[in-house]
Amino acid sequence: MTLEKEQKKNNLQKVYEVIKTMASKPSGLIGLSILLFHVILAITSPLYVPYDYKAIDPSLMLQAPSSEYWFGTDSLGRDVFTRTILGGRTALTVTFFGSLIALLWGGALGIFCGLVGGKIDDVVMRIIDAFLSIPWILAMLLIVSLLGTTTLVLIPALGFFYGKGIVRVARAATHDVIAKDFIVSARARGHSNLSIIWNEILPNVRDAIMVEGAMRWSWMLLGFSSLSFLGFGVSPPTPDWGLMISNARGLMSFAYWAVLAPIFGLSSLIIGINLTADAFAKALGIDRSTKAPV
């Protein structure tokens, strides 16, 4: 019991130290604050938005920003400020749970393949390679157009498609530790494969997989908002940045505010997640600058 408590305390301390290292550099501090700001905004924004996000009023069409409507109104007379601060909620939820799914199945399959090796490993990696060579956008569009654009389809679909890159990372990290003495001795002690995975391999590959997952999160957000922009993401009238940009784009020659507000929201969140993921990788001592975005 006491040992377990001690372990927990150590883990908490480690998390605290990683965050402290991340915040010690300006880029990491900026990234963390932007991300934190967006998360707080996403959780609390329904409590204090000034207008109803779906209230359509033709008499208020395309109003320029004023003291009443801070970011102006869009082509249906909806308040752009309200829709912008609500716009990150769906994106954050979908991509957060999507990355979690990607992390879990990608990590599990990668460790398994790295451990068993041989024929099974060869076949699985061939299939993963084949999946990687289908452009993500085509596969996602196909799934979404046939199964619908609810979040219940989007989360597992994104999770599946962004997890295949994690398989490779987890497999490579497992290969790095598999020949080490402590694994050989665990085998000699007669531990089962499951126990070796849980007690010996996982603690050693966890960092690499988590860093990869953090990076996937920002790519997934990019993919998700691209889908929304193309009209294959969340459906209207849900406020979503990608959807808002695509709707307001046609009229931007005289109502640029309706485009710029969601652009600012989405860009700042993606930059925030990216800076955080970079700082996270550096704090854990993993270099990912030489990697291609697969």
- Please tell me whether residue 218 binds another protein under the rule CB under 8 A: yes
Binding mask 267-286 for another protein (x = CB under 8 A): x--xx--x------------
Q: Is 226 in the site for another protein (CB under 8 A)?
A: yes
**105 contacts another protein (rule: CB under 8 A):** no
Taking the complex as a whole, the smallest distance from the CB of residue 268 to another protein amounts, in Å, to 10
71 binds another protein (CB under 8 A): no
Query: Contacts with another protein: how many residues (CB under 8 A)?
Result: 48
Shortest approach of another protein to residue 230 CB, angstroms? 6
Pick 43 or 294: Cβ nearer another protein: 294
**C-beta closer to another protein: residue 3 or 146:** 146
Among 24, 147, 176, 236, binds another protein (CB under 8 A): 147
Quick one: angle between helices 151-178 and 136-147, nearest 10? Answer: 140
Rank residues 158 and 270 by Cβ distance to another protein and give the closer one: 270
43 scored as a contact of another protein (CB under 8 A) = no
Interaction of residue 145 with another protein, rule CB under 8 A: yes
**Which residues make up the interface to another protein (CB under 8 A)?**
126-127, 129-139, 141-143, 145-147, 218, 222-223, 225-226, 229-230, 232, 242, 245-246, 249, 252-253, 256, 259, 263, 266-267, 270-271, 274, 287, 289-294
